[in-house]
Amino acid sequence: MIICSPKTACESGITGEHKTYIVSKHIKVCESDMKKSYQFRIYPNKNQEVILNRTLSTCRHLYNDSLAERKRESELNNLERDFGIIPWGKPEWINYYDQANDLSESKTNFQKEVFSQVLQNVLKRVDRSFKNFYNGFGYPRFQGRNRYNSFTYPQSGFELDDGKITLSKIGNIRIILHREIEGKIKTCTIKKDIDQWYVAFSCEIDKPIIPVEIETRTGIDVGLKSLLTLSNGEQIEPPEFLRESESKLRHEQKRLSRKKKRSHNRNQQRIIVAKVHRTIRNQRKDFNHKTSNVLVNTYDHIVFEDLQIKNMVQNHHLAKSISDAGWSQLINFTKSKAEYAGKVVELVNPRNTSQNCSSCGKMVSKSLSVRVHSCPFCGLELDRDHNAAINILNRSIYTVGTTGINACQGTQRSIDAAGSSPPFRGE
């Protein structure tokens, strides 16, 4: 469970409606409709794979065509607005509903072979990418064959039973359900990953959250070299094979850069690189799942640095921000598992956590290569990351006895402090 304030909306990362604030023993917390997602591998036969690929291709073409249509209309509108020119009659703004109506009236033969809600979902995706653009994200991009890799059944058209999933207009595909699905399945997305196929379910869970009494707590420093340090000095290292795959990736990427552009060999090498990426992604995910399980089972209150603030402030250190990108998955997994268990995950301001002394609070500057924190003011000497982890825990504004409202204001204050220019020196 995440402490959140009404002003900042919920930072829990949990999507869905946040309804009320309930009061537990000591804190006010946000109650939300929990969403959980599951991913399973599916095993289509040769025939089905052809149909799946064709569906993807139909969806991709529809996506690009709808995007082009919208782009053209907005350019015409701009012409009219800026120069008063109306070259081909008065243009109109096109929205999702116009495109959906057009689609249902005039489907191509390819489109007739695809479940209609799947096609509508494609138009929704175009719509969403424009809305994102209006909210300050990049302009919607046309999708190449290697980029567009999924389609969604948004409500119906799929059915699960007995080792297979039935997809409308596609057929029964073998599936292995390695976990039990909780809640009600809302959407079903089919994804292609190079030569493998997956299905992702998004489920809604109606389960009351029962907050636990906080007895154990820890602060966690995430390191540059995929290393976690807890505030009790314990360290968690990722398995060796993850490192091995990472060096393999560098090797294969170097080979890719030497291949001739647009050659067959280059395409083969591109697939090899994509597969190594997939291996790393899976290994990392597995490690993050296991680690977050251990953390949530051991601690009731877990404090991390807020990596979003960190990247904003310290993005000059590239290697660090890349490794942080890998860490956000761990934090997200921990958040959702903690929420499910009624426990608390808190994100604190990362500024100077490695520079300040965890004993006397004074600033002890050191570069990244200095691995030991030794304080000239109070004489404290300990591992650099261990010192940082203690600082992170100490920065927690959630203490027994504080109410959620105070806690929220604290979070807000530290975010403001990190975002503006006078440096925030910790407390």
For residue 333, the tally of other CB atoms under 10 A from its CB is 19
Which range touches Zn ion (CB under 5 A), out of 75-83, 232-240, 312-320, 373-381?
A: 373-381
Residue 103 binds to Zn ion (criterion: CB under 5 A) = no
Residue 93 binds to Zn ion (criterion: CB under 5 A) = no
For residue 293, the tally of other CB atoms under 10 A from its CB is 13
Q: How many residues contact Zn ion, by CB under 5 A?
A: 7
**Residues of span 52-71 touching Zn ion by CB under 5 A:** none
Residue 372 binds to Zn ion (criterion: CB under 5 A) = no
Q: Is 414 exposed, middle or buried (0-12, 13-18, 19+ CB in 10 A)?
A: buried
Among 322, 325, 370, 378, binds Zn ion (CB under 5 A): 378
Q: Are strands 301-305 and 344-348 parallel, antiparallel or unpaired?
A: parallel
**Contact flags string 331-370 toward Zn ion, x per CB under 5 A:** --------------------------x-xx----------
Residue 375: CB minimum distance to Zn ion, A: 3
Q: Nearer to Zn ion by C-beta: 319 or 360? A: 360
CB neighbour burial string for 246-278, b if at least 16 within 10 angstroms, e if fewer? bebeeebeeeeeeeeeeeeeeeebeeebeebbe
Q: Nearer to Zn ion by C-beta: 3 or 357? A: 357
Residue 42 binds to Zn ion (criterion: CB under 5 A) = no
Residue 133 binds to Zn ion (criterion: CB under 5 A) = no
* Nearest Cα residue to 191 out of 128, 129, 148: 148
Among 29, 199, 375, 407, binds Zn ion (CB under 5 A): 375
Tell me the HSE value of 43 on the side-chain side, using a 13 A CA sphere: 6
Among 227, 272, 380, 382, binds Zn ion (CB under 5 A): 380
> Which token pair is 395?
């920065």
* Nearest Cα residue to 277 out of 309, 304, 252, 241: 252
**What is the amino acid identity at position 261?**
K
Residue 377 binds to Zn ion (criterion: CB under 5 A) = yes
Residues at the contact surface with Zn ion, assessed by CB under 5 A:
357, 359-360, 375, 377-378, 380
